Amino acid sequence: MSEPTVADAINRIYESLQADNADIDLHIATLKAALTRAGLKEAVFDPARLAHNNRSGRKLLQAYFRQRGVTVKFNAS
């Protein structure tokens, strides 16, 4: 079984967010490992795909991920 890429891990997080945060901590850990393998420092998310695409929703997501060791940025849309 191959290791998931950063894009795969981010897509799983989008799916988890749409499914009321099901297994979100597992997906964050997978993303953190994928970022490390890829040599990246941060994950870039599309705010349009978030369940709560407002400032408070984005800040809450950033804070939650930061507590788990993942830096989140949002692409300009």
φ, ψ (nearest 5 deg) of residue 17: -65, -40
Percent of residues, the chain, with pLDDT higher than 70: 97
Mean pLDDT of the chain: 94
φ, ψ (nearest 5 deg) of residue 20: 60, 40
What average pLDDT does this structure show over 68-75? 96
HEC readout, 49-76? HCCCCCHHHHHHHHHHHHHCCCEEEECC
What average pLDDT does this structure show over 63-67? 97
User: pTM of the prediction?
Assistant: 0.92
pLDDT tens-digit profile of 46-59? 999 998 889 999 99
DSSP state of 32: H
